Chains A and B, each alone.
Chain A
Amino acid sequence: MSGFLKSSIGRKVAMALSAFFLMFFLLMHVSINLLSVFSADAFNTASHFMGTNWLVQFIMQPILIFGVVFHFVMGFILEFRNKKSNGIAYVKNNGAANSSWMSRNMIYSGLVILAFILLHFIDFWFPEINHKYIEVLPEDPTRYFGELQHKFTPLWRVAAYVVSFILLGLHLGHGFTSAFQSMGVTAGRKKTLKTIGKVYSIIIPLAFIFIALYHHFNH
């Protein structure tokens, strides 16, 4: 088993598992955010639950942070090792002839997502931790919707959201099916997965973009 984890294929499988987890998390996240478009109350209730439930706070949140860090650290390690395997570069190389741009640039789409995650932490997570554990302000279950609206007021932040989510779409456009291939899924299932992957990688980022634009123009 330890041999497996150290092998190239073991690393692929670990990468895919962390990616599955992140994709599941994204689905949860977008569902809750979508509530904010329909009802401020529903969004506040859901956010309050996520922010105070011990299972979410002390079990799922640490797993999530570990998952994100593991995914991008592993991504860097893979990129670095693969560069070392290349040897001398070709004088002329036509990568576009046999593979998609998305698949060849996972590290760059990933880096933009990483920059976005940092901004996201500064915007939402740090103030949240400060509110709950450092200043220990009184809990107000209706504060979440206002905070959300406030964040989407400046145009630059909305623009950063749009660009980041387009790159997330590109990351997932290759990543979704790639993760299943890494897990050894059989050829018979590939067509269905390709379709689901396309839908997932377009709908989820689009929904996040829609939410950001909606609040920018409606407050």
Chain B
Amino acid sequence: MKLTLKIWRQKNANDKGKIVDYKVDDVSPDMSFLEMLDVLNQDLIDKNEEPIAFDHDCREGICGMCSMYINGRAHGPDTSITVCQLHMRSFKDGDTIYIEPWRAAAFPVIKDLIVDRSAFDRIQQAGGFISVNTSGNTQDANGTLISKHAADTAMDAATCIGCGACVATCKNSSAMLFVGAKVSQYALLPQGQIEAADRVRNMVAQMDLEGFGNCTNTGACEVECPKGITLENIARMNRELMKASI
């Protein structure tokens, strides 16, 4: 396959940045999207040019690092996948592909396609945990009875990998799908319920402080989330906050 790539290049956080065109020949349809970029980068290195900086780690859809806005969509044209799980067979020979970093005021660009997602870490630190005594006399996990339904729903919420696609695709740059998932995974379990009120208050406050926008229920996040986190988690977060406030 022969492709034209239009890629966002930005030297550092202060640089203005711009779209730069690249031509790649010899792309195999079986390559993953990241492998295609690896080939382009090798080419750039051989030519003594600066390679394109992009985030990646596990390359199997579990770490959430690979953040790219491809042809106008978070993680590219397919649903329920990350960029590392996207393959070149999803494109046609001769295609032009736009590759941009996540866009949100709370996710500033560090370089090229890499953005700073530490806002998510700070939200997590504000309450995305439970306090347990680990001094040696911990309870057996099976000592606390949990309904199958609650355990499954909590696990579904816990599959969020913190990739930020929900923010990137949202017209309001809202982080409510992410925060909703994190609030839900604890609120559904007895171990998490003890600190539930403080957790939701603190996490929402931190989310607002970071400058994420306000959800208007367009549902774009749910479509683009690689892990199938549903809007139900946002509704649950809203319920939790209302409960915590009265």
Q: Is A191 an interface residue (CB 8 A)?
A: no
CB-contact partner of A7 in B69, B105, B205, B216, under 8 A: B205
Are B72 and A94 interface neighbours, CB within 8 A? yes
Given contacts A8-B204, A12-B238, A90-B72, contact A85 B220 (CB under 8 A): no
Are B100 and A90 interface neighbours, CB within 8 A? yes
Are B211 and A98 interface neighbours, CB within 8 A? no
- Contact code string A61-84 (vs B, CB < 8 Å = 1, else 0): 000000000000000001001101
Are A103 and B219 interface neighbours, CB within 8 A? yes
Q: Across the two chains, which residue of chain B brings its CB closest to A88?
A: B103
Are B218 and A7 interface neighbours, CB within 8 A? no
Q: Is A184 an interface residue (CB 8 A)?
A: yes
What class of interface size applies to chain A in its complex with B?
A: 35 or more
CB-contact partner of A85 in B172, B201, B239, under 8 A: B172
Contacts of A93 on B, CB cut-off 8 Å? 69, 72
Q: Is A86 an interface residue (CB 8 A)?
A: yes
- Contact code string B179-223 (vs A, CB < 8 Å = 1, else 0): 000000000000000000000010011011001111111111001
- Contact code string A14-45 (vs B, CB < 8 Å = 1, else 0): 00000000000000000000000000000000
Q: Across the two chains, which residue of chain B brings its CB closest to A2?
A: B245
Q: How many residues on the B side are at the interface (Cβ–Cβ under 8 A)?
A: 51
Considering the chains assembled together, what is the distance between the CA atoms of A103 and B231 in angstroms? 15
Considering the chains assembled together, what is the distance between the CA atoms of A98 and B230 in angstroms? 13
Q: Is B108 an interface residue (CB 8 A)?
A: yes
Q: Is A4 an interface residue (CB 8 A)?
A: yes
Q: Is A97 an interface residue (CB 8 A)?
A: yes
Contacts of A100 on B, CB cut-off 8 Å? 218-219
Given contacts A81-B213, A82-B172, A85-B105, contact A99 B100 (CB under 8 A): no
In the complex, how many angstroms separate the beta carbon of B105 from the nearest chain A beta carbon?
Answer: 4
Q: Is B152 an interface residue (CB 8 A)?
A: no
Are A90 and B213 interface neighbours, CB within 8 A? no
Are A82 and B218 interface neighbours, CB within 8 A? no
In the complex, how many angstroms separate the beta carbon of A57 from the nearest chain B beta carbon?
Answer: 33
Are A13 and B238 interface neighbours, CB within 8 A? yes
In the complex, how many angstroms separate the beta carbon of B48 from the nearest chain A beta carbon?
Answer: 27
In the complex, how many angstroms separate the beta carbon of B156 from the nearest chain A beta carbon?
Answer: 12
Contacts of A178 on B, CB cut-off 8 Å? 216-217
Considering the chains assembled together, what is the distance between the CA atoms of A1 and B201 in angstroms? 11
Are B216 and A103 interface neighbours, CB within 8 A? yes
Are B171 and A186 interface neighbours, CB within 8 A? no
Contacts of A185 on B, CB cut-off 8 Å? 235
Q: Is A87 an interface residue (CB 8 A)?
A: yes
Are A78 and B100 interface neighbours, CB within 8 A? no
- Interface SS majority for chain B: mixed
Contacts of B241 on A, CB cut-off 8 Å? 4, 7, 9-10
Q: Is B104 an interface residue (CB 8 A)?
A: yes
Given contacts A81-B214, A184-B242, contact A90 B103 (CB under 8 A): yes
In the complex, how many angstroms separate the beta carbon of A205 from the nearest chain B beta carbon?
Answer: 20
Are B239 and A8 interface neighbours, CB within 8 A? no
Are A4 and B245 interface neighbours, CB within 8 A? yes
In the complex, how many angstroms separate the beta carbon of A139 from the nearest chain B beta carbon?
Answer: 45
In the complex, how many angstroms separate the beta carbon of B13 from the nearest chain A beta carbon?
Answer: 12
Considering the chains assembled together, what is the distance between the CA atoms of A95 and B231 in angstroms? 18
Are B234 and A181 interface neighbours, CB within 8 A? yes
Considering the chains assembled together, what is the distance between the CA atoms of A74 and B219 in angstroms? 21
Considering the chains assembled together, what is the distance between the CA atoms of A81 and B173 in angstroms? 10
Given contacts A7-B208, A98-B73, contact A87 B108 (CB under 8 A): yes
Are A78 and B69 interface neighbours, CB within 8 A? no
30 contacts between A and B (CB under 8 A): A3-B205, A3-B245, A8-B214, A10-B245, A81-B213, A81-B214, A82-B214, A82-B216, A84-B211, A85-B106, A87-B107, A88-B103, A90-B72, A90-B100, A90-B103, A92-B72, A93-B69, A95-B171, A97-B72, A97-B73, A98-B223, A99-B219, A104-B218, A106-B216, A181-B217, A182-B215, A184-B235, A187-B230, A187-B232, A187-B235
Chain B interface residues (CB < 8 Å from chain A): 6, 8, 19, 69, 71-73, 98, 100, 103-108, 169, 171-174, 176, 201, 204-205, 207-208, 211-220, 223-224, 230-232, 234-239, 241-242, 245-246
